[in-house]
Chain A
Amino acid sequence: MSLLLGAFIIGLILALVALGVFISFRVYHFPDMTAEGSITLGAAVAAALLVTGHSPLYATLAATVAGAGAGLITGVLHTRFKINALLSGIIVMTALYSVNLHVMGKSNVPLMNVTTFADQAAGIAAHFGTEKVLLFGREAGVRDLTLLGLSLGLVALVGVLLYAFFRTHLGLAMRATGDNDQMVRALGSSDGMMLTGGLALSNALVAMAGALLAQYQGFADAQMGIGMLVWGLASVIIGEALVGTNRFGYLLAGAVFGSVLFRLLVAVALRWGLDPNDLKLITAVFVFGALVLPGTFAQLRRRISTPVSGDSRA
Chain B
Amino acid sequence: MLELNGIRKTFHAGTANEVRSLQGVNLNIEPGSFVVVIGTNGSGKSTLLNAVAGTFLVDEGRIGIGGEDVTQWAEHRRAQHIGRVFQNPFSGTAPTLSVAENLALASRRGQTRGLGFALAGANRDRMVAAIQGLGMGLETRLDNAIGSLSGGQRQALTLLMATWLKPKLLLLDEHTAALDPRSADQVVRITDRIIARDSLTAMMVTHSMQQAVTYGDRLVMMHRGQIIHDVRGAEKRRLRVEDLMARFEEVRRADLLDTSAADLLRARYV
- Whether a CB of chain B sits under 8 angstroms from the CB of A131 is no
B114 within 8 A of A: yes
Complex A-B: 23 CB contacts under 8 Å: A164-B117, A168-B114, A168-B117, A169-B116, A172-B97, A172-B101, A172-B104, A172-B113, A172-B118, A173-B113, A175-B94, A176-B94, A176-B101, A180-B95, A183-B91, A183-B94, A184-B105, A185-B76, A185-B79, A186-B162, A187-B105, A187-B109, A188-B109
Residues of B close to A246: CB separation below 8 A: 96, 145
Please determine whether B93 and A186 come into contact, CB atoms closer than 8 angstroms: no
- Of chain A, the residue at the smallest CB distance from B158 is A183
The interface residues of chain A lying within 8 Å CB-to-CB of B92 are 183, 186
Q: Which residues of B have CB within 8 Å of A187? A: 79, 105-106, 108-110, 161
A182 located at the interface, meaning its Cβ lies under 8 Å from any Cβ of chain B in the complex: yes
A167 & B145 in contact (Cβ 8 Å cutoff)? no
Q: How many residues of B contact A (CB 8 A)?
A: 37
Q: Write out the residue numbers on chain B whose beta carbons fall within 8 Å of the beta carbon of A171.
A: 118
Task: Give me 20 other A-B pairs in contact (C-beta within 8 A), A182-B91, A188-B76 excluded.
Answer: A167-B117, A167-B118, A169-B104, A169-B108, A169-B113, A172-B105, A173-B108, A173-B113, A175-B97, A176-B94, A179-B94, A179-B97, A180-B94, A180-B95, A182-B86, A183-B92, A186-B79, A186-B86, A187-B106, A246-B145
Q: Which of A165, A169, A187 has the most CB of B within 10 A?
A: A187
A180 contacts across to B, CB distance below 8 A:
90-91, 93-95
Give the Cβ gap from B111 to chain A, nearest Cβ, in Å.
7
The interface residues of chain B lying within 8 Å CB-to-CB of A167 are 117-119
Q: Mark B94-135, 1 if CB is under 8 A from A, else 0.
A: 111100011011101111011111110000000000000000
Please tell me if B74 contacts chain A, counting CB pairs below 8 Å: yes
Instruction: Give the residue name and chain of the B residue nearest to A192 (CB).
Output: B76
Q: What's the Cα separation between A188 and B84 when bound, in Å? A: 11
The 5 closest A-B pairs by CB, nearest first: A188-B110, A188-B79, A179-B94, A169-B113, A176-B94
B139 contacts which chain A residues (CB < 8 A)? none
Q: Does B75 contact A (CB under 8 A)?
A: yes
Nearest CB of A to B164, in Å: 9
Q: Is the interface of A mostly helix, strand, loop or mixed?
A: helix
In the complex, chain A residues whose CB is within 8 Å of the CB of B75: 185-186
Q: Write the nearest CB–CB distance from A243 to chain B, whole angstroms.
A: 15
Task: Bits for B60-104, please: 1 = Cβ < 8 Å to A, else 0.
Answer: 000000000000001111011010101000111111110001101
Instruction: Write out the residue numbers on chain B whose beta carbons fall within 8 Å of the beta carbon of A164.
Output: 117
Q: Is A188 in contact with B104, judged by CB distance below 8 angstroms?
A: no
**Residues of B contacting A170 in the complex (Cβ-Cβ under 8 angstroms):** 113-115
A residues near B145, Cβ cutoff 8 Å = 246
Cα of A175 to Cα of B98 in the assembled complex, Å: 12
- Please measure, in the bound complex, the distance between the C-alpha atom of A172 and the C-alpha atom of B116, giving whole angstroms: 11
Q: How far, in angstroms, from A168 to B101 measured CA to CA in the complex?
A: 10
Please measure, in the bound complex, the distance between the C-alpha atom of A189 and the C-alpha atom of B161, giving whole angstroms: 14
Give the residue among A167, A183, A185 with the most B Cβ atoms within 10 A.
A183
A167–B94 Cα distance when bound, in Å, is 15
Q: Does A32 contact B (CB under 8 A)?
A: no
The CA of A191 and the CA of B102, in the complex, are separated in Å by 16
Write out, one digit per residue, whether chain A residues 185-204 have a CB within 8 A of any chain B CB (1) or not (0).
Answer: 11111110000000000000
- Within the complex, what minimum Cβ distance (angstroms) separates A37 from chain B? 29
